Amino acid sequence: MDILNKNWLTEGLIDFEYKKYILLAYLKSVKSNFDAQRLYPFLSDLVFHYQNLVSIREHKKLIYDHFPQVITKADFEKLQISYKKIVEDDNLMKEIEDILSFSIPRLKNVLEQGAERYEYLEKNVEIQPIGISPLYAVEGYMLINQDHSHELDIFRYHLTIFENANETYRAVNTEFIEKEKKSIGRTLEHLKLDLVKRYKELPNPATYVIIAKIPIPFQHTLLPIAKRILVKYISAHAA
């Protein structure tokens, strides 16, 4: 069980032993992935479930969002009745309190293990600009090099900025282009020039190479870390 259903707490049988079994099976699977250095989507899924349960406990009530979302209009009245029964049933609420008390510290423990592993891996990944970086760095190319090999995965990236009254959020979308090999006669600068010649819509692209100094699973770990490092680097160097 790699991913835990977002409504696992309130769907099906609300029974401490049953929910305990589900949670422990989930955490065992997550820890197995962490041991293999596979962090995503397991780490972000853990964060969601931990914050979700803490929110429920702090508010001392259940809300409709924690029930299964795929319901028909005819089912909605039944849902309201079920919700009311749970809230008004002291035994059920006690069962939920027990589940929360058991689950939250265990989720937190595994989450901290995942965060420590992420920090270790991130320290072994570095980013370098290729050539002169233009002021416009919202889109460009990201090259990923794994453990000093000659092979590179080349992505085109586009940075998206979201703003609200208090904060600015940045997210990056990537599109895989191709695999390439570097050599003495085919440097990173040569690869960048080739990209400029082939994709003329970006005549002076921001281009970065991200280097993993140790072996890291690509899809489940290195690519997500690379994207986060790219966003942080561009944000830190923005004019």
Backbone angles phi, psi at 145, to 5 degrees: -115, 125
Distance between first and last Cα of the chain: 45
pTM as predicted: 0.81
Residue among 139, 145, 154 nearest 222 (CA): 145
Q: How far apart are CA 166 and CA 163, in angstroms?
A: 8
Q: How far apart are CA 182 and CA 151, in angstroms?
A: 6
CA quadruple 195, 207, 119, 9: dihedral positive or negative? negative
Ordered per-residue pLDDT tens for the chain, 239 residues: 678 988 898 888 889 999 999 999 999 999 999 999 999 999 999 999 999 899 888 875 554 455 544 444 445 455 444 455 555 556 777 888 899 999 999 999 999 999 999 999 999 999 999 998 888 889 999 999 987 788 999 999 999 876 655 566 678 999 999 999 888 888 999 999 999 999 999 988 999 999 999 999 999 999 999 999 999 999 888 65
Q: How far apart are CA 159 and CA 137, in angstroms?
A: 8
Helix (H) or strand (E) holding 116, with range, is: helix 90-123
CA angle, 70 then 46 then 142, to 5°:
100
User: What are the angstrom distances between the C-alpha of 27 and each of 13, 91, 204, 239?
Assistant: 20, 27, 46, 43
For the record, the structure tokens of 212 come out as 């993993």
For the record, the structure tokens of 191 come out as 């690869």
- Whether omega before 205 lies within 30 degrees of 0, making that bond cis, reads no
Q: How far apart are CA 229 and CA 67, in angstroms?
A: 36
Q: How far apart are CA 39 and CA 190, in angstroms?
A: 33
CB 160 within 8 A of CB 171: yes
User: What are the angstrom distances between the C-alpha of 136 and each of 23, 92, 184, 212?
Assistant: 46, 56, 30, 26
